[in-house]
Amino acid sequence: MTIATERGDVLRFVGIWLTSVVSGVGSALTGFVFGVWVYRTTGSVTGFALMMLASVLPSVLVGPFAGVAVDRFDRRRVLVLTDTVAAVSTAAVGLLYLSGDLRVWHLYAAGAVGATCGTFHLTAYQAMTPLLIPKRHLGRANGFMQASWAAQIAAPLVAGTLLATIGMGGVIVVDLVTFAVAVAALLVVRLPAGVLRPERPAEAPTLRGDLSFGLRFLRRHGALLGLVSVLTGFNFAFAAAGMLVQPLILSFTGVATLGVLMFAGGSGLFAGAMTMSAWGGPRRKTFGVAAFTLVGGLAMAAHSLRPSALLIGVLAPAFLFTLPVVNGCANTVLQLKVPTEALGRVLGTAHMLSQGATPIAYLLAAPVAQFVAEPALRPGGALAGSVGRLVGVGPGRGIAAMFLVTGALLVILAAVVAFVPALRRVEVDLPDAGTDADPVRVSPSAEAAGVP
């Protein structure tokens, strides 16, 4: 690759990345506003939780379908089409809102459509990135992708202000404008044909074979499946903590302090993404996964030590700092080891597996905290004389104990990556997919037969 070509591809990646940021932030704005509308309309925490579930579960279920589309069709068309579908869904909500006919189920449906389209977007971007960025910069590129996600998480801070000033209708208009900008940019950026549509065998596999291809590929290369399993455990801990951190904070302080601490946590996430963007992670990316999972586990477990705003203000950013580094390093390994013609299907399946832990954590964390952990750590409770000596006894300490457990889970996952040879040595034992004598590469005959 010449310097001029490399520079052009990096600029193309920046253009694609900017469309991801613009579109993602716009969707995050409306997602927050929709959740607020549901809660204000129903007055139900369950209704709000269902809105969150509607915005997560479809993205898990459609992962393999997104991977097949990204590997079979022109990726620019996939991105433009999904942006258009998401925009139509948002516009329909806007019209229903203006006419006074908006109902809660409309927003559940819109959330599901947005989550589905977002999964197609993420899979396409991740599959295109290693085709545009030299290997030595791939970690940094994944850091930039994590930064776009951090910007989406920070979007509710802006959405709250917009909701108070221009209302729900105004926020919907802003989102539609971001869709238009993203689509226009996608149409303008010139991309090589190989980036838009990878080579496929003359005899294309069946849809059923394509849908199961990613899982079979990961199972055949067990170290990659192990890495995805570690991400699944990490995401489970992160989702459980995200569900419980606000009740934990509110158990010993007020709403004003909650806002400050949530901002501090978001700052840690953004700082981690920026660090990954500038650094690119360690040379051995699996070392980065192990080391930062360990740091994240220790920071999460330490949330339980005592009810202190200062303690949470230090530990929450420390934990969230590790998230972009762990995800960025793991994604880089997958992108390097999976053949380009199979990236969409494998990454789509990896997304399904790793993100599948999120709705499970949402469904389990709150009831376990409310009905099991909290009663056990009341004065005289079943765990008051044992775990209570470490985390304390009283309101919120059951939630604190769950942070201790999820932190321990992360420490165990870090040990697995560090001490299981297949995981620790995956970057050495498994050649990069771009090499000539690459046993990982999928032969056309095997792919057509549906065998990875």
pLDDT mean across residues, the chain = 86
List strand residue ranges (DSSP E) for 101-227, in order. none
Which of 340, 337, 344 has the alpha carbon at shortest distance from 124?
344
Most confident of the ranges 131-135, 152-156, 306-310: 306-310
Q: Which amino acid is at 337?
A: K
Residue with tokens 């694609």, as numbered in its chain? 16
Asked if the domains 1-198 and 210-452 are classified in one and the same CATH topology, the answer is yes
pLDDT for 140: 87
Crossing angle of helices 3-42 and 138-165, rounded to 10°: 30
pLDDT digits (tens, 9 = 90+) for 83-129: 999 999 999 999 999 999 999 999 999 999 999 998 998 899 888 88
pLDDT digits (tens, 9 = 90+) for 298-336: 999 999 999 999 999 999 999 999 999 999 999 999 999
The CATH classification number of 210-452 equals 1.20.1250.20
- What is the four-CA torsion angle of 156, 314, 413, 386, rounded to 10 degrees? -110
pLDDT digits (tens, 9 = 90+) for 75-90: 999 999 999 999 999 9
Question: In the chain, where are the structural domains located?
Answer: 1-198, 210-452
pLDDT for 365: 87
Which of 88, 110, 59 has the alpha carbon at shortest distance from 183?
88
How does residue 438 score in pLDDT terms, banded at 50, 70 and 90? Answer: very low
pTM for the whole thing?
Answer: 0.84
Q: Is pLDDT at 3 greater than 60 in this prediction?
A: no
Tokens of 100: 């006074």
Give the mean pLDDT of 38-60.
77
Give the mean pLDDT of 372-384.
94
Report d(CA 16, CA 410) in Å as an integer.
33
Report d(CA 233, CA 437) in Å as an integer.
33
How does residue 12 score in pLDDT terms, banded at 50, 70 and 90? Answer: confident
pLDDT for 138: 87
Q: Is pLDDT at 53 greater than 90 in this prediction?
A: no
pLDDT for 445: 47
> Which CATH code, of 1.20.1250.20, 3.20.20.70, 1.10.1740.10, 1.10.3720.10, is assigned to 1-198?
1.20.1250.20
Q: Is pLDDT at 450 greater than 60 in this prediction?
A: no
pLDDT for 63: 92
Distance from the first to the final alpha carbon of the chain: 29
Report d(CA 70, CA 342) in Å as an integer.
9
Could you tell me where the DSSP H helices lie in 189-254?
A: 193-196, 207-220, 222-250
Report d(CA 181, CA 178) in Å as an integer.
5
pLDDT for 27: 83
pLDDT for 154: 65
